[in-house]
Amino acid sequence: MNRFDYLRPASIAEAVAAASKPGSVYLAAGTNLLDLMKGGVARPDRLVDVTHLPGLGAIETLADGAMRIGALVKNSTLAYDAAFSARFPAVAEALLSGASAQLRNAATVGGNLLQRTRCPYFYDTASACNKRAPGSGCDAIGGANEGHAILGFSEHCIATHPSDFCVALTALGAIVEIEGQDGRREVPITEFYRLPGDTPERENVLAPGEMIVALRLPAEAAAFAANQRYLKVRERTSYAFAVVSAAAALQVEDGTITEARLALGGVAAKPWRAEEAEARLAGRPANRAAFEEAAEIAFADAKPSGDNSYKIALGRRLVVRALAMAAAGTPEVMPALPASPFAALPDGFIPDSVIPQDVQPEGAPHV
């Protein structure tokens, strides 16, 4: 680890000014940053500690019905907030499916948005990685890449975004509030992240010194509260990042979907909003045929970046199940294994591709 300066500003304005200098990074919980520094992946010249800045630790319901979450709110605090989890249960489920309880108690929601990819070549400083060292190449291409991207990748980078939280935020249209030298601005989370293209080292739209100060979930997103789920396939049920994940939210009236939201994780360098699939679901009955068609649309542009063609089939099946579970209704109590396919399923739920819709038992919900 290289030597670095440590600053602890007293205000957001002071923090932005300090972090605008080259070689500076913000420090909150450091659950990802400090690991990167210890491994020599990140070598900042200056840490700007924002953990004691005022006004960044609140969860608020705004006058228009939106909920605003300060960037320093802990992941576990947000997941267990009764008002928040009642209105945005898929976000709470996503948070509780990530990392360990100890990490969730330390990690902040702002830091979650800025965590780096878990591509092993990014972490191995002996490997070529355009994200870590622009222009050096990408050893993941042609390497061990069964966990890499199937959407939006380029010849320069095939890494995926690691967050669960951000997938659910993307489905529900969250807004990122950013403070910089030119004042405050707001960016939809769907526009916050960048695909790798020719510059994979540029992962988001933040300018030098800009800091995330809050997230905001619009009031209209709460209309999906009764029918939303987050579902995640991982190599082990605890403490693992998603191989593929999906956040599904529906508004259903008399068995017909009036509006749908769908976002995918583990498939691209950013959480992937499946807007064409959402549009196809609107006006359709909430049944398996509609869900399977939406899944095909969601992955229509997917292609392997290496030994990961299985992700396409797995992703389609996961989307069908996530939509079916959302249609069955948000559970009153968070599952013992949040977001896991091994969690108890709703009463009457029929597993994927086991019983065709036309032979479902009498009285079973059309999922």
Q: Name the token pair of 92.
A: 């709470």
Q: Is the pLDDT of residue 101 over 80?
A: yes
Residue 309 CB neighbours (<10 A): 14
The residues near 201 (Cβ < 8 Å, ≥ 6 apart) are: 130, 131, 132, 134
Query: pLDDT tens across 198-213, in order?
Result: 999 999 999 999 999 9
Helices (H) and strands (E) in the chain, counts: 13, 12
* Type of residue found at 104: R
Q: How much is the pLDDT for 277?
A: 98
Q: Kindly state the percentage of the chain with pLDDT values over 90.
A: 91
Burial class (CB within 10 angstroms; exposed 0-12, middle 13-18, buried 19+) of 243? buried
* Type of residue found at 282: A
What is the pLDDT of the chain when averaged over all its residues?
Answer: 94
Bridge partners (DSSP) of residue 184 are: 179
Q: How much is the pLDDT for 356?
A: 33
SS3 357: helix
- Structural domains in the chain, sorted by start: 5-52 (3.30.43.10), 227-350 (3.30.390.50)
What mean pLDDT comes out for the span 89-115? 97
Q: How much is the pLDDT for 362?
A: 37
Q: How much is the pLDDT for 106?
A: 97
Q: How much is the pLDDT for 348?
A: 62
Residue 29 CB neighbours (<10 A): 19
**What phi and psi values does residue 193 have, to the nearest 5 degrees?**
-95, 150
Q: Is the pLDDT of residue 366 over 50?
A: no
Q: How far apart are CA 246 and CA 94, in angstroms?
A: 10
User: β-strands 24-27, 46-49: how paired?
Assistant: parallel
Query: pLDDT tens across 341-356, in order?
Result: 988 777 666 555 433 3
Range list of β-strands (E), the chain: 5-7, 24-27, 46-49, 59-61, 67-70, 175-180, 183-188, 211-217, 228-234, 242-253, 256-265, 272-273
Q: How far apart are CA 265 and CA 248, in angstroms?
A: 12
Burial class (CB within 10 angstroms; exposed 0-12, middle 13-18, buried 19+) of 28? buried
pLDDT band, residue 357 (cuts 50/70/90) = very low
User: Range with the lowest mean pLDDT among 182-186, 291-295, 363-367?
Assistant: 363-367
SS3 7: strand
Query: pLDDT tens across 77-93, in order?
Result: 999 999 999 999 999 99
pTM reported for the whole predicted model: 0.94
Q: Is the pLDDT of residue 38 over 80?
A: yes
Q: Is the pLDDT of residue 361 over 70?
A: no
What DSSP character marks residue 117?
P
Q: Name the token pair of 57.
A: 């630790």
Q: How far apart are CA 75 and CA 95, in angstroms?
A: 6
Query: pLDDT tens across 145-190, in order?
Result: 999 999 999 999 999 999 999 999 999 999 999 999 999 999 999 9
- Residue-by-residue DSSP string for 14-27: HHHHHHTSTTEEEE
Q: How much is the pLDDT for 238?
A: 80
